[in-house]
Amino acid sequence: MRLMMAIATLALCLAGAARSAAAQPPATTRQMVLERNEAGRYAWKLVRVAVPAVGDHEVLVHMRAVSLQRGDIEIVDALSAASATGRDHTGQIVCSDGAGDVVAIGKLVRGVRVGSRVTSLYFSDYLDEPLSAEKQAKGHGYTVNGVLGDYVVLEDTGIAPMVAGLTFEEAATLPTAALTAWMATAGGGLVRRDDVALIQGTGGISTFALQFSAASGARVIVTSSSDEKLRRARALGARDGINYKDTPAWSDRVMALTGGRGADLVVDIGGKATLGQSMKSLAYGGTISLVGGLSGYGADVAADDLIHKAARAQGIYAGSRADYLRMSAFIKKHRIHPAIERTYPLDRYEEALKDLAAGNFVGKLVIRL
């Protein structure tokens, strides 16, 4: 008996040692950073640097997957346009949405331990409502270091537990696209059972908005330029699809499908080119969630139309950590799995960016580390 106990104890010690050894990061890590050329134009550059040490309130995360979003392209363009007058972002790590496991923690970190599976958050220090300029100024990959690297340091306020049952690739899609969609639909209390939700497009935010609305019991209508994408949207829970190339006046089709009622919620992705038709599609007392500007952000909201329909237009800008935790509970309860079109190894990042810019996908694109 003593021999068996000794063997068991030794096995536990060896297992613990193996786990400790596995948790030790290497001396260097790959990171994708911004680099500025002589003309002041920024671009992504893959570099190898020393693994950073953690501060008192920081964690070192071994990133396993990072999802891409259109903002990763837009921020490069914006920073390049402002390069002559703004601060130098050379060396800043790109991207905001990643998932991995914690391999080191600062001495004042609480509630997180080595081995915890976590995701990043869009903001590094936005714990709860309301949003402020100070909180907004700390966006991962935008104004502070992002997450695209094998090992990255994050503030302990800029991470959240991974949703149980999701893969690293699936969890990496949640911090921005899913949370924005959540706040534009169920998280913002904007969609309820038996409502009609009109979702534009089939990208990351749109697909999550579809899934959250359908899980809430709403009837979902999706617009797209592709019949194949509409077929896939129906498989994710949409009831109706409208090809806006075949039906340019798609608001008329929305009214016909709903017997003249319109949509209680419209998730507007297009911005300048779509807002007019979104307004025409809106039911009395409905809400337009403004979450994107694929055609530009310079659209005018017709106040008289809003007043006439006793409706509202609400801007959505991601959400807080508290919002993210509520979303995570909803995802777990309804067993929602993110739609991922393709995954890429890090050394194929240029291909991933081209696919992201082309927009010919449903759901999300993910880089696997």
Number of H helices, E strands in the chain: 12, 15
155 and 230 assigned to the same domain: no
In the prediction, which pLDDT does 216 show? 98
293 and 237 assigned to the same domain: yes
235 and 272 assigned to the same domain: yes
117 and 254 assigned to the same domain: no
Query: Domain of 269: which CATH number?
Result: 3.40.50.720
Q: What is the pLDDT of residues 146-203, one digit of tens each?
A: 999 999 999 999 999 999 999 999 999 999 999 999 999 999 899 999 999 999 999 9
In the prediction, which pLDDT does 293 show? 60
Band of pLDDT at residue 262, cut at 50, 70 and 90 = very high
Kindly state the average pLDDT of the residues 326-342.
98
Nearest to 341 by CA among 311, 316, 362: 362
113 and 147 assigned to the same domain: yes
In the prediction, which pLDDT does 296 show? 56
139 and 243 assigned to the same domain: no
Better pLDDT: 330 or 74: 330
Better pLDDT: 274 or 202: 202
40 and 145 assigned to the same domain: yes
The structural domain count of the chain equals 2
190 and 288 assigned to the same domain: yes
Q: Where are the alpha helices (DSSP H) in 175-219?
A: 179-184, 204-215
Token pair for 365: 């694109």
Which residue bears the tokens 């337009």?
288
149 and 183 assigned to the same domain: no
Asked if 356 contacts 366 with a C-beta cutoff of 8 angstroms, the reply is no
Rounded to whole angstroms, the Cα distance separating 267 from 288 reads 6
Asked if the structure places residue 203 within a domain, the reply is yes
292 and 211 assigned to the same domain: yes
Band of pLDDT at residue 69, cut at 50, 70 and 90 = very high
- SS3 state of residue 121: coil
Cα torsion 179, 185, 190, 194: sign = negative
In the prediction, which pLDDT does 324 show? 98
Token pair for 30: 């790959």
Provide the greatest CA pair distance for the chain. Answer: 84
SS3 content of the chain, % helix, strand, coil (to 5): 35, 25, 40
CA angle centred on 299, ends 298 and 303, rounded to 5°:
135
Token pair for 15: 């297992």
Domain that holds residue 70: 20-173+338-368
In the prediction, which pLDDT does 200 show? 95
Token pair for 24: 């030790």
188 and 279 assigned to the same domain: yes
